[in-house]
Structure 1
Amino acid sequence: MTIDRQIVDSIERAGIDLVCSVPCNLLGAVMQLLDAGRVRHVPVTREEEGVGIAAGAALAGRRTLLLMQNSGLGNCVNALASLTGLYELPLFLLMSHRGGERERILAQKPMGQAAPRVLDALGIPYDVIATLNDCMRLEEALRATYAESRMRAAFLQPELWSCSA
């Protein structure tokens, strides 16, 4: 099973019924699987647009997830803090984590290093998913988002795709 399939299976088993996504090369296959699956997938052009759609859906009782690169976290900080956070709406942020030691694109590094601290500053707990075994925690974290009615996040490390079967 590929890592992409494992991610989508976790999303489906956790009862997520709406995923907003911003284009990302690493997450492209996940998005294709979502399009073919039973979860409603809404591609958006900017991260804060996804936060707004997810907030409205959460108010209607939907379980939502925003799929994006960690570099997009900076684009939606205000929406996360003043909308989703202020009104205590559950939302899961699932992010490919760019900007690590092996990153070839220099522009990815600043936000790659800052993203965990941004989540800390917003009070959003997060997991780092770096191995196939770590993927088991993803479904638990997704379920906790809705059990606790709060925001949570996970960083998907690039090496996940190199160890995928």
Structure 2
Amino acid sequence: MDTVHDATSRTAVRAFLDHGFTHFVSVPYAHPKGLFRILEDSRFPARHVPAPREDSAVGVAFGLTLAGARTAVFMRNSGLDYSLNVLTSLMFIYDVHLPLVVSWRGHDDNDDNNDNDEGERRVVGRAVTPLLDASDLPWTILDPQGPRRSADDFFEQHDGGRRTTVLIVKEGV
């Protein structure tokens, strides 16, 4: 039986496919969950390209986009901060705007996984939305109760590729 998280993950990935995305770049996880597990499944209907680091994933996605692919980047929030220089350089210099899906561990002291989160995850988790705001990157939190609505809001902000936007995914989704 599927969990709410599994259904949310499938709905979010389906929204990307419905919007014509053909390539997904991410850093592989040792124990993938939710969205990341779907990307790494051999039956996934689009191309998953693994990258060694999140900033490298942005660079690979940029190259694929220049080559004509519709590409999204999936990353952990721990890689967001060091990816921003690459990301903003590509946005401003080349006017290429990638959709990002960012996991959000350690975001809340009431987080279900808080007992398992090391201190650095909580520090980085609390900094995600202020960092995105300071970088002028619009963001949407994927709502497990309305995943398609969240995805549609995200794609509306993405504006057909004219804005870099971030879909924030809480742990487990």
Higher alpha-carbon deviation: 137-146 or 103-112: 137-146
Shift of 1:148: 4.7
Q: What's the RMSD between the two structures over aligned residues?
A: 2.1
1:30 aligned partner:
38
The ranges of structure 1 where at least 4 consecutive aligned residues each deviate by more than 6 angstroms after the TM superposition are none
Please give the secondary structure, in 1, of the residue aligned with 2:94.
coil
Whether the aligned pair in 1 keeps the contact of 2:138 and 2:157 (CA below 8 Å) is: no
How many residues align? The count is: 159
Q: How does 1:3-42 map to 2 (within 5 A)?
A: 3-24=8-29, 25-26=32-33, 27-33=35-41, 35-42=42-49
List gaps (5 residues or longer) in structure 1.
Answer: none
1:145 aligned partner:
158
Whether the aligned pair in 2 keeps the contact of 1:21 and 1:68 (CA below 8 Å) is: yes
- CA deviation profile, 1:105-152 (whole Å, cap 9, x unmatched): 122111111111221122110001132314422144236525252210
Q: How does 1:37-76 map to 2 (within 5 A)?
A: 37-76=44-83
Normalising by structure 1, what TM-score? 0.84
List gaps (5 residues or longer) in structure 2.
Answer: none
Percent of aligned pairs with the same amino acid:
28
Please give the secondary structure, in 2, of the residue aligned with 1:36.
coil
2:123 aligned partner:
110
Q: State the alpha-carbon separation in 1 of the partners of residues 68 and 142 from structure 2.
A: 27
Shift of 1:85: 3.7
Normalising by structure 2, what TM-score? 0.81
**One-letter amino acid of the structure 2 residue matched with residue 8 of structure 1:** V
